[in-house]
Amino acid sequence: MRLAAGSLARSCGARDMKTVSTRLMPSPSVVIHERRTRWLNVLFNGRADGRLNTGHAGVLLAERRGSYPLIDLRILKTSAQQGEVESGTRRKIKRLLSFQRYCHASRLLRGLVPHTPGSLHLLDDDYLGQAAHMLSKVGTWNFDIFLFDRLTNGNSLVTLMCHLFNVYGLIHHFQLDMVKLHRFLGMVQQDYHSQNPYHNAVHAADVTQAMYCYLKEPKLAEQLTPLDVFLGLMAAAAHDVDHPGVNQPFLIKTRHHLASLYQNTSVLESHHWRSTVGMLRESGLLSHLPADMSQDMEQQLGSLILATDISRQNEFLLTFRDHLDNQDLDLQLASHRHFILQIALKCADVCNPCRVWELSRQWSERVCEEFYRQGK
Ligand SMILES: [Zn+2]
């Protein structure tokens, strides 16, 4: 079980835990560099050039947190021809920039003037592949998140979130720093445990995609503000971050420190929320916003994530039923929109049985495997 002092520090989201975090965890820049290196290695070696060392990948598979086998950078250095290495470096740089190019291209296609002077303005041919084609159908319920995760080399959550942020113009609206955004999303994706059969980054991406399906429902879409959309997508992406793969009763009965920390109440959900707040502050994503605004966003994120606690299901169902019976839902009220976002996130979190059979079956097998492991 991987719940070290670092996760506790993030969970607490408190300044006094910062020392613990920095002392026991690699610095954020090191973590990001390591993740980016791994990602680039996979991209570089995963291409069909016939030099993929499957034995090596197998050994390293266990330590990879994404859903794609890790390829060691050392494979690059054993290349006999220096020219090939340089070519690889050029390709790596090209791919590093591809994300930024894609976002810029997306803004241009939607007629938005770029707000960052000097930003790149080249369409990235690499990106306009199968993954991009899939994104054109991201609002459909038969979206295959497993295939999308493979096409993005295990970066489905980051890629999907960046795409949706562009679709809604959230980067421009909130004047978000692209580097900070990418850093934050990378941290979130990395903090999901790839060894969990179910509660991993692909589940987060799946819930985010389902959330998008709800957000684009016409009656809801015409009332939602950019803040609503931002919070809905962020909550969906981070709602299970650092999930240990066991449930709350297990944590309580084994006297886990998280159960003590959160006094046996919404233990996991509280941890997901506080971890998200910790990463938001560590990345500085919202640091340019007024303090009261960023604090309000953190609180609303907490309210959304805590709503996914299944033990509070009846509470939400009764309130929702009352609203439907009385027909008094007014989506012009921020509180009512927030409630609907809570319901949407809860539905997105458990929507697996509503997917097409092939996807639903895979999720069922994964969740059964995770439950089985808990009982072993
Ligand atoms: Zn979930």
pLDDT score recorded for residue 271: 97
> Which domain, by its residues, includes 225?
116-375
Question: Is residue 107 in a domain?
Answer: no
pLDDT score recorded for residue 129: 78
User: Which comes out higher in pLDDT, residue 121 or 114?
Assistant: 114
pLDDT tens figures, 329-344? 999 999 999 999 999 9
pLDDT score recorded for residue 130: 85
pLDDT tens figures, 119-147? 333 334 454 578 889 999 999 999 999 99
Is 199 tagged catalytic? yes
Question: Is residue 33 in a domain?
Answer: no
Q: How many whole angstroms separate alpha carbon 122 and alpha carbon 124?
A: 6
Here the CATH number for the domain that contains residue 202 is 1.10.1300.10
pLDDT at 261 over 90: yes
Question: Is residue 198 in a domain?
Answer: yes
CA 26 to ligand 1 center in whole angstroms: 27
Q: How many whole angstroms separate alpha carbon 365 and alpha carbon 370?
A: 9
pLDDT tens figures, 87-102? 555 555 555 556 555 5
- From residue 306, alpha-carbon distances to 86, 292, 338 in Å are 49, 21, 13
pLDDT tens figures, 191-240? 999 999 999 999 999 999 999 999 999 999 999 999 999 999 999 999 99
Question: What is the per-residue DSSP string for 70-96?
Answer: ---THHHHT-S-HHHHHHHHHHHHHHH
Domain count, the chain: 1
pLDDT score recorded for residue 376: 81
Q: How far is CA 63 from the centre of its chain?
A: 19
Q: How many whole angstroms separate alpha carbon 324 and alpha carbon 340?
A: 12
Question: What is the per-residue DSSP string for 278-290?
Answer: HHHHHHTTTTTS-
Question: Is residue 31 in a domain?
Answer: no
CA 327 to ligand 1 center in whole angstroms: 29
242 is in an annotated binding site: no
271 is in an annotated binding site: no
pLDDT score recorded for residue 104: 56
CA 83 to ligand 1 center in whole angstroms: 46
CA 208 to ligand 1 center in whole angstroms: 10
User: Can you say whether the dihedral through the CA atoms of 355, 152, 72, 37 is positive or negative?
Assistant: negative
Residue 67, SS3 per DSSP: coil
240 is in an annotated binding site: yes
Question: Is residue 47 in a domain?
Answer: no
What are the two backbone dihedrals, phi and then psi, of residue 198, each rounded to the nearest 5 degrees?
-115, -55
203 is in an annotated binding site: yes
Q: pTM (2 decimals)?
A: 0.70
Calculate mean pLDDT across residues 307-322.
96
The H or E element containing residue 137 is none
